[in-house]
């Protein structure tokens, strides 16, 4: 692929990316000059929630194919400064502009040109094939959906170790499914009670922890260990405790009703709510 008369290799075709990304090291080698970059304020957000703030945007001509079967489109690249094994990431915006079709099975990209479809085969790519026949083995109690295929030439000892490990993994996954179901139920209760709300791309995120209660039910807790480490320490968390105790003098009854079970009604400061984000 050619970008303003420079041939560039190691290009990732990403159908799931809306942005076309050009990495800073490649941009500098094109000798365009960083003053040509248009400012951008919106960050790029990955599926894990990580944010990358671009240095700017630039529009460059991109030519794909071999002469005369070529197509040239103007691409709005987002320039970022971060490590990558690729030089360019082409998203679906450019693929749509080229009317391109991708095939992950054939490792092929095809697009129409003035003459005909362009796209060359990859004879140098060889896909791995099994070197031996596969044998079906039933795990667990013999249910049909628990079949697994293993190599027929695998030694018996290795085969037994593999099957034992598979059984332990299956038990672990079954336990994980029960735990995830319990977490989802508790989160739904909090959402219906309007006690929590959904947020997108938070900077702070804590994991939930399930603790089994004496009655067999689950208590949903949030691990704020990292948040506590980032917060300043207060050596006097209750500076008015003496005044509160003295204020009880002379009264016959003291109600602990709010403190016992309704403490969660204390509203969080609005600007700090996002820091209490939890992941489930």
Segment 67-85 mean pLDDT: 87
> Which has the minimum average pLDDT: 96-105, 137-146, 187-196?
137-146
pLDDT at site 280 = 56
For the ranges 115-124, 172-181, 200-209, which has the lowest average pLDDT?
115-124
125 in a structural domain = no
What confidence tier does 57 reach under pLDDT thresholds 50, 70, 90? Answer: very high
Q: Summarize the confidence of residues 122-126 as an average pLDDT.
A: 52
Query: 246 is in which domain, residue-wise?
Result: 206-279
Q: What is the mean pLDDT of residues 187-197?
A: 81
Q: Is residue 123 part of a domain?
A: no
Confidence of residue 144 (pLDDT cuts 50, 70, 90): very low
113 & 22 share domain: yes
Distance CA 151, CA 171 (A): 23
What pTM value is reported for the model? Answer: 0.43
Whether 79 and 16 map to the same domain: the answer is yes
Torsion of CA 63, 105, 89, 204, to 10 degrees: 160
Residue 113 Ramachandran class (φ > 0 left, ψ -120 to 50 alpha, else beta): beta
Instruction: Select from 151, 167, 192 the last residue of a domain.
Output: 192
Say whether pLDDT at 165 is over 70: no
- Give me the pLDDT at residue 222, please: 84
Same domain (yes/no): 265, 160: no
Q: Is residue 198 in a domain?
A: no
Same domain, 38 and 105: yes
Look up tokens 């099975």; give the residue: 105
What local confidence, expressed as pLDDT, does residue 236 receive?
Answer: 67
28-32, 60-64, 202-206, range with the lowest pLDDT: 202-206
Least confident stretch, 222-226, 239-243, 264-268: 264-268
Which residues, 6 or more positions from 222, have their beta carbon under 8 angstroms from its beta carbon? 206, 207, 208, 209, 276, 278
Q: d(Cα 274, Cα 199) in Å, to the nearest integer?
A: 8
Determine the average pLDDT of the residues in 242-261. Answer: 68
Instruction: Give a yes or no: residue 112 inside a domain.
Output: yes
Indicate whether 182 and 213 sit together in one domain: no
pLDDT above 80 (res 132): no
pLDDT, mean of residues 33-61: 85
Task: Look at the chain and report how many structural domains it folds into.
Answer: 3
Same-domain check for residues 93 and 141: no
Residue 85 lies in a domain: yes
Task: Indicate if 178 and 91 belong to the same structural domain.
Answer: no
């Amino acid at each position: 692929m050619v970008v303003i008369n420079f041939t560039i290799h190691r290009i990732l075709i990403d159908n799931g990316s809306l942005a076309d990304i050009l990495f800073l090291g490649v941009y500098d080698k094109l000798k365009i000059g960083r003053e040509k970059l248009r400012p951008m304020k919106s960050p790029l957000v990955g599926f894990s929630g990580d944010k990358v703030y671009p240095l700017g945007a630039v529009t460059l001509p991109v030519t794909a194919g071999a002469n005369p079967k070529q197509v040239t489109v103007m691409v709005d690249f987002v320039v970022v400064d971060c490590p990558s094994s690729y030089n360019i990431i082409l998203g679906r915006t450019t693929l749509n502009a080229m009317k391109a079709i991708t095939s992950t099975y054939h490792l092929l990209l095809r697009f129409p040109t003035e003459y005909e479809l362009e796209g060359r085969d990859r004879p140098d790519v060889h896909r791995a094939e099994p070197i031996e026949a596969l044998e079906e083995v039933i795990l667990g109690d013999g249910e049909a959906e628990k079949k697994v295929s293993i190599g027929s030439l695998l030694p018996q000892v290795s085969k037994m170790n593999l099957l034992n490990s598979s059984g332990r993994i299956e038990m672990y996954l079954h336990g994980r499914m029960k735990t995830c179901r319990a977490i989802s139920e508790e989160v739904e209760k909090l959402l219906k009670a309007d006690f929590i709300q959904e947020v997108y791309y938070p900077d702070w995120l804590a994991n939930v922890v399930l603790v089994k209660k004496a009655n067999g039910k689950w208590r949903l807790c949030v691990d704020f260990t990292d948040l506590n480490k980032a917060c300043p320490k207060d050596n006097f968390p209750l500076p008015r405790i003496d005044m509160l105790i003295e204020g009880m003098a002379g009264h016959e009854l003291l109600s602990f009703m709010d403190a016992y079970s309704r403490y969660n009604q204390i509203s969080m400061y609005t600007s700090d709510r996002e820091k209490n984000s939890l992941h489930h």
